[in-house]
Amino acid sequence: MAETMTLEIHRGDTAGGELVSYTVPSTPGMVVLDAVHFVQAHHAPDLAVRWNCKAGRCGSCGAEVNGKPRLMCMDRVDKYPAGEPITIRPMKTFPVIKDLVSDVSWNFEVNKKIPAFKPRNDRPPRFSQEEADRVQEFRKCIECFLCQNVCHVLRDHQRKEEFGGPRFFVRVAALEMHPLDDGNRTGLLKQDLGIGFCNITKCCTEVCPESIHITDNAIIPLKERVVDEFYDPIKKLFRILMPQSRPEAGD
Amino acid sequence: MPSYETHEYDVVVVGAGGAGLRAAIEASARGARTALICKSLLGKAHTVMAEGGIAAALANVDTRDQWQVHFRDTIKGGKFLNQWRMAQLHAQEAAERVLELEQWGAVFDRTKDGRILQRNFGGHTYPRLAHVGDRTGLEMIRTLQDRGVHQGIDVHMECTIRRILKDGDRVGGCFGYHRETGRFVVFRAKAVVLATGGIGRCWAISSNSWEYTGDGHAMALWAGAELIDMEFVQFHPTGMVWPLSVQGTLITEGVRGEGGVLVNREGRRFMFERIPELYRGEFAETEEEATRWVQAVIAGRRPDARRPPELLTRDVVARAIRREVREGRGSPHGGVLLDIASRRTPEEIKRKLPSMYQQFKELADVDITREPMEVGPTCHYMMGGVRVDPDTQESTVRGLFAAGEVAGGLHGANRLGGNSLSDLLVFGRRAGQFAAESAQRNASVAQVDPDQIDQVVRESLAPFERTDGENPYALHEELRSTMHNLVGIVRTEEELHAALGKLQQFRQRSARIKVGGNIQYNPGWHLALDLKNMLDVSEAVTRAALQRKESRGAHTRDDFADSDARWAKLNLIVRQGTDGIEVSPRPLPEMPPELKKLLEEGEHG
């Protein structure tokens, strides 16, 4: 007889939910998403779950497995203790829609606040691989929103109105450090995205499935830019004297 | 009858991968009120999984490259069945589209002098693929997504379109449902662009996600449009084979482009024995010559040797791998070995193929910088699709356009790697442009007979009304294994007939599918509805495959093993007739003499 395991999966919707147990046969190399698919096919056809690529590239299947944020398609079941149930819940920071699916639409709204790439016209689009490397790290982001899910400012303090979250600092960093971009988004970072709320606990960096150094390479350099722009005493004086030179906000 | 919400637009784009996004950007930029409909969340469409690169004759790495060579490679790779005008436009416009992407913020890997780097790929004469490591599709979809965000396009996420609505012979919009709520929605529109991608979920081993259920192919068929080249389904030579959990997951052709070699269980590089007549003289004939080519490419020199046979076209490589496995020379889990570890340093592998490294390490416990990968063919891409006007991408139904994988004609009998992403950009843009122009010619949105809507609503809700019946997941699994076993890489008349019999049974059983739960975010229900598309598309493929009594490109018949010159001049057209799906041959459009000459020059040069 094949070995089996027990999954405890969140079932429910906006009205409430509970963990429901399912027994699933384990197969070599199995990932959590395979187990969820088995439950769908054999026990609960209406079990809601998001997934697409099943190879860690699209960032659709984020959930909390035994309390830890994971991409279910990259999470091997054989790393969990045998004989103990594996619990799967939707990402906590976002409102649940049904079962393992949560409403991540807020993220798409934040994205709209970020002004588009603004190419400089004063140089041909030539730049070195070293210059590319710096932003290519940020452009690896697959928008799984696991970093948003673990960020204290969002998860514990629910500051969704005032704060953009690590995903969008990564996105702004990709624009600000782009060798061809001519925009200035420090005003946006300070005001609309509230970068000051981040107190650099690095939780986002720890969960990033793409291993982006979110805190060190994106957030800290952006915080420094904001400080330089807004709190440098000489620049501050300059701004008081010449108010039209304020950095542009996210229009 | 349940209520439904209604929206009105000039142009509705169904599908939000590369082609859909590019079409929506273009239509919107031309002043059309535009909606973009995503089956998943925005940015998760299949384009995000594309790895190797975008083919375009930028000539940044080899100055001899030009659109004419790209055109010739594409036609030759398609075994001469391509629509010549599409292949011409594609080759001519791809470079411009890639440069435009860079102007929109895409960051491609760079050459030493700071331009877009290009890599080698199967069937391309020169290094031609603009790329970002092995995640080019992500770069492309994110660039388009960020461009589209500021353009006033209305994005409807997690919305599945079920039917094209018509007013007489003209398009009046489309009908679908929101996954989240299960609520029905009607988009009234002057023009509809299908950009729904492919059909890979009909096969058991596939690199495709749940979305790839042939929605656009089936809806076009039902709307009265013609499909073309439906017998040509591409099996990518290198999918993962072990563990079972990841069977079919794609391994980029970029591994071979970066020097990776294919060996069988005996350690032999079998591709040297499998160079077809068409490519005779163009590929290295000894390991020493192939190694010299790789070393020159790594060093950035123009090679003085011919390229390794691992870089033959996908149809050829997939068949060769299948043969090694069938004849008992396969790897332990029924594939062959793909080795990059002995060719490149660990640092180079991690830099150029980071996702492959991660994928194997985490999912298969294989370190590809030290060990070979086990690989085998996986259903990957549909060459066939909606027959469109090459310039405008309009189908044979007025106001209905198609772009990207759902459209047929560009790739003929076999697509070259890298020609898909360029296809999305070139023809996505064209579809958006001409859909907007078509919409501008019509003052008002067409009226849609409410009976059409009532009918699809009733049909959609039927699975909830049955108290006892089939499980949609079980039926889907049976369909997938049937298509895999009977309509796979190599086909016979007997097996194709058997497949048709099975499909007939599945059709009857699908009318008895029952789903539990309610209409909110119910994947069992969604699958039950998608099965209707998959059954019709599977039948279209099978019937076309029966008719083409020869082997060409991705279509191999064991009972007609050779190519036949008469078939080289014929496409198969699929239509919805009164008694079901009909297939008929149609002569290829005559290629103008100057393009013919280009092909002949290739033969001698």
Distance (Å, whole) CA B44 – CA B28: 21
| DSSP assignment string, B181-204 | T--EEEEEEEEEEE-----GGGSS
pLDDT at A248: 45
Whether residue A120 is predicted with pLDDT greater than 90 in this model: the reply is no
B142 touches chain A (CB under 8 A): yes
CB B362 within 8 A of CB A31: no
Q: Choose among A138, A251, A180: nearest CA to B150.
A: A251
Going by pLDDT thresholds of 50, 70 and 90, the confidence category of residue B603 is low
Helix (H, G, I), strand (E, B) or coil at B359: helix
Q: Are B42 and A74 in contact (CB < 8 Å)?
A: no
Please give the DSSP secondary-structure letter assigned to residue B132: S
Where are the strands (E) in chain A, listed by range?
A: 4-13, 16-25, 62-65, 68-71, 86-89, 96-98, 101-102
CB A197 within 8 A of CB A159: yes
Across chain B, mean pLDDT equals: 96
Q: Which strand (E) or helix (H) includes residue B240?
A: strand B233-240
Whether residue B153 is predicted with pLDDT greater than 60 in this model: the reply is yes
Domains and CATH numbers, chain B: 240-377 (3.90.700.10), 451-587 (1.20.58.100)
The residue annotated as part of the active site, out of B162, B163, B201, B256, is B256
The whole-angstrom distance between A221's CA and the closest CA on chain B is 20
Closest partner residue to A27 (CB to CB) among B245, B473, B517 is B245
Q: Are A58 and B44 in contact (CB < 8 Å)?
A: yes
Q: Are A74 and B363 in contact (CB < 8 Å)?
A: yes
A172-176: average pLDDT: 97
A28-43: average pLDDT: 97
Supply the ipTM of this predicted assembly: 0.95
Express as a percent the part of chain B with pLDDT over 70.
99
Helix (H, G, I), strand (E, B) or coil at B337: strand
Q: What is the pLDDT of residues B505-556, one digit of tens each?
A: 999 999 999 998 999 999 999 999 999 999 999 999 999 999 999 999 999 9
Distance (Å, whole) CA B148 – CA B154: 10
* Whether the bond into B585 is cis, omega within 30 of 0: no
Going by pLDDT thresholds of 50, 70 and 90, the confidence category of residue A249 is very low
Angle at which helices A166-176 and A105-112 cross, to 10°: 30
| DSSP assignment string, B15-64 | --SHHHHHHHHHHHHTT--EEEE-SSSTT-SGGGG--S-EE----SS-TT
pLDDT at B198: 98
pLDDT at A164: 98
A61-78: average pLDDT: 97
Distance (Å, whole) CA B550 – CA A28: 40
CB B155 within 8 A of CB A74: no
Name residue B557's beta-bridge partners: B491, B560
Quote the distance between the C-alpha of residue B80 and its chain's center.
Answer: 19
Q: Choose among A44, A41, A212: nearest CA to A142.
A: A212
A224-241: average pLDDT: 82
Tell how strand B34-37 and strand B154-156 pair up.
parallel
Distance (Å, whole) CA A145 – CA A148: 5
Whether residue B605 is predicted with pLDDT greater than 50 in this model: the reply is no
Tell how strand B570-577 and strand B373-382 pair up.
unpaired
Distance (Å, whole) CA B487 – CA B481: 10
Going by pLDDT thresholds of 50, 70 and 90, the confidence category of residue A247 is very low
In chain B, which among 159-198 make CB contacts under 8 A with chain A?
180
Instruction: With beta carbons under 8 A apart, name residues in chain B contacting A58.
Output: 43-44, 48-49, 209
In chain B, which among 446-505 make CB contacts under 8 A with chain A?
471-474, 477
The CA–CA distances, whole Å, from A64 to A9, A86, A96, A106 equal: 10, 10, 13, 19
Distance (Å, whole) CA B285 – CA B269: 11
Going by pLDDT thresholds of 50, 70 and 90, the confidence category of residue A123 is low
Distance (Å, whole) CA B278 – CA B211: 36
CB B388 within 8 A of CB B407: yes
Closest partner residue to A48 (CB to CB) among B149, B472, B523 is B523
A92-115: average pLDDT: 97
Q: Are B515 and A60 in contact (CB < 8 Å)?
A: no
Please give the DSSP secondary-structure letter assigned to residue A16: E
Q: Choose among B491, B488, B402, B383: nearest CA to B82.
A: B383
Closest partner residue to B135 (CB to CB) among A29, A101, A140 is A140
CB B355 within 8 A of CB B51: yes
Q: What is the pLDDT of residues B295-324, one digit of tens each?
A: 998 888 889 999 999 999 999 999 999 999
Instruction: With beta carbons under 8 A apart, name residues in chain A contacting B109.
Output: 129, 132
Q: Which CATH number fits domain A4-102: 1.10.10.10, 3.10.20.30, 3.40.50.720, 3.30.70.920?
A: 3.10.20.30
Alpha helices in B353-471 (DSSP H): 354-364, 419-441, 450-465
Instruction: With beta carbons under 8 A apart, name residues in chain A contacting B201.
Output: none
Residues in chain B: 605
Annotated domain spans of chain A: 4-102, 105-245
CB B338 within 8 A of CB B376: no
Instruction: With beta carbons under 8 A apart, name residues in chain A contacting B357.
Output: none
B146 touches chain A (CB under 8 A): yes
pLDDT at A244: 58
Tokens of B292: 């010299």
| DSSP assignment string, B460-473 | HHHHHH-SS-B-HH
| Sequence-ordered list of residues with C-beta below 8 angstroms from that of B188, at least 6 positions apart, any chain | B6, B7, B8, B9, B165, B172, B173, B445, B446, B448
B46 assigned to active site: no
Tokens of B394: 């309009």
Instruction: With beta carbons under 8 A apart, name residues in chain B contacting A116.
Output: 105, 146-147, 149-150
Q: Are B138 and A105 in contact (CB < 8 Å)?
A: no
Q: Choose among B266, B264, B289, B260: nearest CA to B274.
A: B264
pLDDT at B468: 85
Instruction: With beta carbons under 8 A apart, name residues in chain B contacting A55.
Output: 49, 246, 249-250, 355, 359, 363
Q: Are A29 and B245 in contact (CB < 8 Å)?
A: yes
pLDDT at A238: 75
Q: What is the pLDDT of residues B238-268, one digit of tens each?
A: 999 999 999 999 999 999 999 999 999 999 9
Phi (first) and psi of residue B198, to 5 degrees: -110, -155
Whether residue B451 is predicted with pLDDT greater than 50 in this model: the reply is yes
A184-213: average pLDDT: 96
Closest partner residue to B359 (CB to CB) among A55, A59, A139 is A55
| Sequence-ordered list of residues with C-beta below 8 angstroms from that of B511, at least 6 positions apart, any chain | none
Going by pLDDT thresholds of 50, 70 and 90, the confidence category of residue A125 is confident
The CA–CA distances, whole Å, from A6 to A51, A73, A79 equal: 21, 18, 14
Tokens of A186: 């420090």
Distance (Å, whole) CA B294 – CA B330: 25
B256 assigned to active site: yes
Spatial strand order in the sheet of B570-577: B385-386, B227-228, B570-577, B580-587
Q: What is the pLDDT of residues B8-48, one digit of tens each?
A: 999 999 999 999 999 999 999 999 999 999 999 999 999 99
CB B519 within 8 A of CB A49: no
pLDDT at B66: 97
Q: Are A28 and B517 in contact (CB < 8 Å)?
A: no
Q: Are B105 and A181 in contact (CB < 8 Å)?
A: yes
Closest partner residue to B521 (CB to CB) among A98, A111, A181 is A98
Express as a percent the part of chain B with pLDDT over 90.
94
> A239-248, B143-152, B167-176 — which is least confidently predicted?
A239-248
Instruction: With beta carbons under 8 A apart, name residues in chain B contacting A99.
Output: 521
In chain B, which among 342-401 make CB contacts under 8 A with chain A?
355, 358-359, 362-364
Classify the C-alpha dihedral B224-B228-B232-B238 as positive or negative: negative
Please give the DSSP secondary-structure letter assigned to residue A186: H
CB A90 within 8 A of CB B248: no
CB B418 within 8 A of CB B252: no
Q: Which residue of A has its CA nearest to B142?
A: A139
A26-31: average pLDDT: 94
Alpha helices in B205-342 (DSSP H): 215-222, 254-257, 287-299, 314-326
Classify the C-alpha dihedral B220-B226-B231-B233 as positive or negative: negative
| Sequence-ordered list of residues with C-beta below 8 angstroms from that of B111, at least 6 positions apart, any chain | B60, B61, B117
Q: Are A57 and B103 in contact (CB < 8 Å)?
A: no
Whether residue B61 is predicted with pLDDT greater than 80 in this model: the reply is yes
The residue annotated as part of the active site, out of B236, B411, B480, B526, is B236
Task: Count CB neighbours of B183 within 10 A.
Answer: 16
Name the CATH architecture for the domain at A105-245: Orthogonal Bundle (1.10)
